[in-house]
Amino acid sequence: MNNIRWGQFAVFVILASLDNAAAGILPPLYAIISHELNASETSLGIVTAVYVIIIAISSIIWGYQGDRLKRKPLLLAGTAVWAVAMIATGLSTTFTPFLIFQSITAVGVGAVSSIGFSVVSDVVPAHRRGFALSLWSISQGLGAAFGALLASTAGAFDWRSPFFIVAGLGVVFGILYIFIPEPQRGAAEPELQPLFDSGRTYDNRINRAALKQILAQNSTRWLLIQAFFYSLAFGASVWIPRWAIARVQAQGFDLESATIIGNAIVLLFSVGSFASIYAGHLGDRLEKRFDRGRPYLAIIGTITSTPFFIVLFFMPLQGVPPPESTSFVNIILWTVDSFLQNPLLVLAFLIALIGNILLAADLPNWAAMITNLNLPEHRGTAIGISRLFRATGNAIGVSAAGFLFARLQNFYPETDAFAIGLAIFQSIILFSSFCYFFILKTIKKDTTAVSQILKKRASSFSQQ
């Protein structure tokens, strides 16, 4: 990655993480905000569902415009929209304006999620895309974790402050982007290097006919379907903090303390997600030796991770006496100390660690595949379309899980209801794995076709 423009890459990675921080704030605070705004937790789950749907729709619009026009002004505009709307969200005193401003936030977030992805693909060398895009996906996970951490710390005592903090950071890094030059479209493609070496630029831009071209490609279609089932399964994962909070509350803790402890436990359980960095690197190496290495790696990771998560959801989080103090620092230290002293929590941590390590094979290699399967001027739109598939699955997952948990609580204790519901949705990940089997049959042909188009274009320009 020596020739990556690190300044550009770092800013986009941070902006992407802040987008996910904005989305990650709400779920851990469902219980507190529902009480403050006099709304049900199911209603707030619907806010999250509406949020991801709007992001998806706006991602397509932003992505298409980014594939047509200069991307820098569009990204600055999108960042300004979501930052201002986050501040307004934090100022809301009733449910209706809260929903409206979260929806506006989603409109702005859609810009970074699609245009930002296309820009990143132009600063990442083609042979290191898996590794670099693993950093992109890790940043999103860290952003969501950062949002959850803010929610469980500052938000546990003042639910509005996390919205203000993330908005402020968005403004800061949006300003930094003003001083960073926009990379040339297609600059990372080896097939186009003769074109850039001659001092020319790649001037192809998307048109409406390209939408049909993107969706007509077999491998891209299966990647989109895979994204839908993956997100349907993990749409329910926004309720995992509530699962942990419920388990902690069952030991007699009050809601505020349980919110801090439960979210701290979830963060510790997520450590294995960092394995996606190696998974992306491994995908790069496999692709050099075997043109179907990435889909095979994703298949193995998604299938084998499922039983570990299902077992985790049924494990109790108990057996440790309450902390002597309810201060934030003391509760966090107590939570970490509990993991070191309680064999049951150590076992739960190991199960979560293995599950997340295996699952980490999916996202960076999925991102590398959809990048390689689409022309440089199509990638913002392609990732925008994928966000619609993911958002649809996510919205169905979030909403359906909320209703399922409510129904299950009529027959089971709250802790068991969350465990059963999460296990049911986790099993859906197997459907996403099956999509990769179809991709195995088409990916070599489709990536070769894209490479040949780029070579032909570079050759035609050099002859002019």
Every domain of the chain and the residues it spans: 6-180+213-462
Q: At 172, which helix (H) or strand (E)?
A: helix 161-178
Give the Cα-Cα-Cα angle 441, 445, 451 (nearest 5 degrees): 145
CATH 1.20.1250.20 for domain 6-180+213-462: yes
pLDDT in tens, the chain (464 residues): 444 466 677 777 787 788 778 877 877 777 788 878 887 777 787 887 788 788 888 989 999 998 988 888 888 888 889 899 999 988 888 888 888 999 999 998 888 878 878 888 888 777 778 877 888 777 877 787 788 778 877 776 788 888 898 888 888 888 877 877 777 888 888 888 888 877 788 888 888 888 888 888 999 999 999 999 998 888 777 778 777 777 777 777 767 667 777 777 777 777 788 888 888 888 888 888 887 889 999 999 999 999 999 998 888 776 555 555 555 566 666 667 766 777 777 888 889 889 989 998 898 899 889 998 999 889 889 988 998 898 888 778 877 887 888 888 888 887 778 888 888 888 888 889 999 999 999 999 999 998 898 888 877 655 55
- Which tokens is 219 given? 């491998």
Q: Which residue has the tokens 């968005």?
A: 170
Rama region for 401: left / alpha / beta (φ>0; ψ in -120 to 50; rest): alpha
Residue 2 buriedness (CB in 10 A; 0-12 / 13-18 / 19+)? exposed
pLDDT of residue 96: 87
Number of DSSP helices (H) and strands (E) in the chain, helices first: 21, 0
pLDDT of residue 461: 59
